Amino acid sequence: MDPIEHDLVFERFLSRRRSTLPDIDIDVESARRHEVYHRIVERFGGERTTLMSMQNSYRIRGAVRDAGLALGMDDGEIDAIAETMWRFPAGEFREALTEKPELRALAERLETDRAAGRRQLDLLVDLTERLDRLPRHLSTHPCGIILGDRRLPELTPVQPSGVDGLPMSQFDKHDMDPMGFLKLDVLGVRMQSTIAHTLEEIRRTTGERIDLETIDRDDPDTYRMIRSTHTLGCFQIESPGQRELVGKLMPESLTDLIVDISLFRPGPMGSGMVTPYLERRHGFESVRVPHPDLAPILAETHGVTIYHEQVLRLLDTMTGCGLDRADELRRALGSAEQPQVEEFVRTCAAQRGYEAGVVDEVWEVLASFGSFGFCKAHGAAFAVPTVESAWLKTHHPAAFLTGLFEHDPGMYPLRLLVAEARRLGVPLLGMDVNRSTDHYRLEELEGDDTSGTDDGAAARRGSGPRRRHGIRMALTSLKGISSAEIARIVAARPFASLADLRQRARPRRPTLRALAQVGALDALMPGGTERRGDLVSAVAEQTRSPRPAAAARSAGRQAAGQLPLPFAETDLAGLDAEHPAPERQEVIADELRLTSVDVTGHVMEIHHETLEQLGVTRAEDLLSLRSGSTVRVAGIRVATQTPPMASGRRVVFISLDDGTGCADVAFFDEAQGNTGEILFTAQLMLVEGTIRRTGPRAVSIQALDAWDLRREDQLAALRRRRVPEPPRRGRGQQGRVNASPL
């Protein structure tokens, strides 16, 4: 580079100043976020504060649904088509039909329709593509607040929001910088609400007040639980990828958790830093750095670049630009200005005497790292609630699970946490109109507490046996029940009889029937659960066709939609036991249909005999299998992810829950082609694949093929295949930890 040109480049970056106002982020309890909104408005005044709006534009599924409705297509058909769409732009619909294996059946149907002169599907594709990214509606931004001076109402159009009528600007986040507004992000963190609910339940039921500022953040029992990879519900470390990473990293302290959380970011992962760090941490590879000048910078991370601070110091050391200017260079990584940054770094590093090979090695890391990483302080801020949530799960599992059920902070559906409660020995108590409220609550049971994690942390606390608690299901989990009905039930409790419930709580007909089906009225029925069949039948009969005479007598007294239930409690006691108690499978099916949670038992119990015939291995037994062996797993889909990969290829990660744990399955190109349309639509799946062991507690499955357990044609095809017999793991199978996409 010409000296004058170099000086211009150098001056450009030395003279850079932040060109935009900073975002200010505040983490608060999600359940109290609106309280914070009101306090901010009170503090700064309504004329200087507004909520920010969000322009919602069409994505693929919404575009398909609205286009299908416009074409008069059947709702069920629209839903079936929309369910097969998975995270590609609506404008690429026709292209996706030729590329995505899950759309193969739809593409064939389109060709058949076209040959027959039918154009509805063709029009659906065209309309969907034209809707891509067009505005659909305006809504309140989930966290943004605009701060300004008293001229703010004159500078932005304002309308009432859905948050208690607080003012909302019609500008969205892209308008903030050009308008010169300061944006405050009030981020509602569900884990904070979960922890608050946990601590309150512990205080309410035991009188113990826990100050999380005083707990041991290097507690051995807590880290033993984390290393077991049973981290469902724990902040930041519950995803399939993170469970695999903690199983390989084997954290022993808060510092290790900071590294773990910071490693699991696009920057360090994209620059290939995960495997070298793990190899060096466990002594499989010697520590090395590109140049001795960089050794002090990378010493704490075994020569691997993980934190933003290390990026800044690398840039400063090699270019002499200073840490403040290095941050501007870091921000430009991954942007259109990256070629200029590279030229600047290479020129300055050469002038400071660094060899080209050293510069190449450092730049490869910097270019892949981009700006997608954490500063160490950010990692530490995340690691603190991570260890707090893990500590609570270890030492107060029932209370912590209650908090998880109440605020649902993680990536998995509630029903997977129910399976986790069973694994931990925490009793789940069904819905009961005399005991359930509008919150999930701890409820004291007879006997001592035997719940705890696999390592027996509860037994080692040395404080003697604790009172045993279960988790009582909340009325809010019942589909279709209104907040007004819940309030009436809670206010009028306890109820002496079904007639008492009907008279004082006044539930609607569908609500009363649903309550009976999930067992919430069992305590009001002579004979309890054994007479549930009679009770459900009686309520259903009255719901379908109330007797005219009874309806006439009660017409003046009943609210609209009220069930005119003519029988008194004595009538119930005298009912003939004509209807047997529902089978366990029926109970589970009713619970799933009405609450989405199978409290009585796991849904896979229904398929137990079939799964045994098909040679399915339980999730809890996967760790005993040898790497590379063929295995079959089955379960209900609880998570589907398609994260960006360094290779650019699409990989689909699916987590299946079978009641004993989670099986994490990766579908690469060939498996996606074999699986077809059920890849994103099947809820109950059976997968055949090969075991990938990547650490002492890290195991996943690379899929070869998959089937929908609810389709008889697929089950018939599956029964014709040979059942694999996966060999058990021998000794010496816990070697190096670098056989993973991580």
- Looking only at Cα atoms, what is the longest distance across the chain? 102
156 pLDDT above the threshold of 70: yes
Q: How many CA atoms lie within 13 A of 2 on its CB side?
A: 3
Structure tokens at 259: 């590294």
- The pLDDT value recorded for residue 280 is 94
Domains of the chain, by residue range, sit at: 3-57+136-190, 60-133, 285-373, 486-595, 603-719
| DSSP β-bridge partners for residue 728 | 625
CB 290 within 8 A of CB 362: yes
For β-strands 698-708 and 684-695, DSSP reports them as antiparallel
| Token representation of residue 139 | 């809504």
Q: What is the pLDDT of residues 562-615, one digit of tens each?
A: 444 444 444 454 455 566 677 788 888 888 899 988 888 888 988 888 899 899
Q: Tell me the pTM.
A: 0.84
Residue 557 has what pLDDT? Answer: 44
Secondary-structure breakdown of the chain: helix, strand, coil percentages, each rounded to the nearest 5:
50, 15, 35
The whole-number pLDDT of residue 373 equals: 83
* pLDDT band at 17; cut points 50, 70, 90: low
Token couple for 36? 């914070």
Averaged confidence pLDDT in the chain: 85
**What is the sign of the dihedral through the CA atoms of 317, 323, 329 and 333?**
positive
Instruction: Give the per-residue pLDDT at 600.
Output: 87
Q: Considering the chain, what percentage of its residues have pLDDT values greater than 70?
A: 85
Per-residue pLDDT, 464 = 52
Best CA proximity match to 175, nearest among 187, 157, 194: 157
Confidence of residue 7 (pLDDT cuts 50, 70, 90): low
223: CB partners within 8 A, 6+ apart:
251, 252, 253, 390
The alpha-helical segments, DSSP class H, found in 495-583 are 498-505, 509-517, 532-544, 548-554, 569-573
Q: What is the mean pLDDT of residues 617-638?
A: 92
pLDDT band for 302, please (50, 70, 90 cuts).
very high
Q: What is the pLDDT of residue 327?
A: 87
Half-sphere exposure of 272 toward its Cβ, with a 13 Å CA cutoff? 9
Answer yes or no: is pLDDT of 457 > 60.
Answer: no
| Stretch 347-363: mean pLDDT | 93
Say which residues have a Cβ less than 8 Å from residue 189's Cβ, sequence separation at least 6. Answer: 27, 28, 29, 30, 385, 409
DSSP state of 732: T
What pLDDT is stored for residue 548 in this prediction? 42
The length of the chain is 742
What is the predicted pLDDT for the residue at 451? 52
**How far apart are the C-alpha atoms of 359 and 319, rounded to whole Å?**
11
Residue 164, classed as helix, strand or coil, is coil
Please determine, for residue 369, whether its predicted confidence score (pLDDT) is greater than 80.
no
Residue 725: pLDDT over 80: no
As a whole number, mean pLDDT of residues 471-489 equals 96
AA letter at 44: F
pLDDT digits (tens, 9 = 90+) for 209-227: 999 999 999 999 999 999 9
pLDDT at site 312: 93
Q: Which of 250-264, 346-360, 582-596 has the lowest mean pLDDT?
A: 582-596
- Kindly list the distances between the CA atom of residue 339 and the CA atoms of 334, 342, 724, in Å, as whole numbers in the listed order: 9, 5, 52
The better pLDDT of the pair 304, 576 is held by 304
Q: Please say whether the beta carbons of 441 and 408 come within 8 A.
A: no
Compute and round to an integer the Cα radius of gyration of the chain: 30
Write down the pLDDT at residue 218. 93
Check pLDDT > 70 for residue 136: yes
Helix or strand run (H / E) with residue 27: strand 24-29
Q: How far is CA 597 from the centre of its chain?
A: 16
DSSP state for residue 227 in the 8-state scheme: H
Taking only the tens place, the pLDDT of each residue in 524-567 is: 876 666 667 667 766 766 555 444 444 444 444 444 444 444 44
Q: What is the mean pLDDT of residues 105-118?
A: 91
Spatial separation of the C-alpha atoms in residues 405 and 399, rounded to whole Å: 10
When pLDDT is averaged across residues 306-325 and rounded to a whole number, the result is 92
10 Å Cβ neighbour count for 91?
17
Integer CA distances (angstroms), 522 to 518, 519, 533, 598, in order: 9, 5, 10, 17
Q: In this model, does residue 63 exceed pLDDT 60?
A: yes
pLDDT for residue 454: 43
d(CA 100, CA 623): 33
Q: Is the pLDDT of residue 453 over 70?
A: no
Tell me what the mean pLDDT of segment 391-419 comes to: 91
pLDDT tens digit sequence for 669-703: 999 999 988 999 999 999 999 999 877 777 889 99
Helix (H) or strand (E) holding 649: none
Distance between CA atoms of 167 and 359, rounded to whole angstroms? 53
- Coil vs helix vs strand at 285: coil
Q: Percent of the chain at pLDDT above 90?
A: 55
CATH code of the domain made up of 603-719? 2.40.50.140
Q: Higher pLDDT residue, 483 or 598?
A: 483
The alpha carbon of 734 is separated from its chain's Cα centroid by a whole number of angstroms, namely: 30
Strand runs (DSSP E) across 106-256, as ranges? 135-147, 158-160, 167-169, 182-189
b/e sequence 588-617, b meaning 16+ C-beta within 10 Å: bbbbeebbebbbbebbbbbbeebbeebbbb
* Ranges of H-type helices in 15-101: 33-44, 60-70, 75-83, 93-99
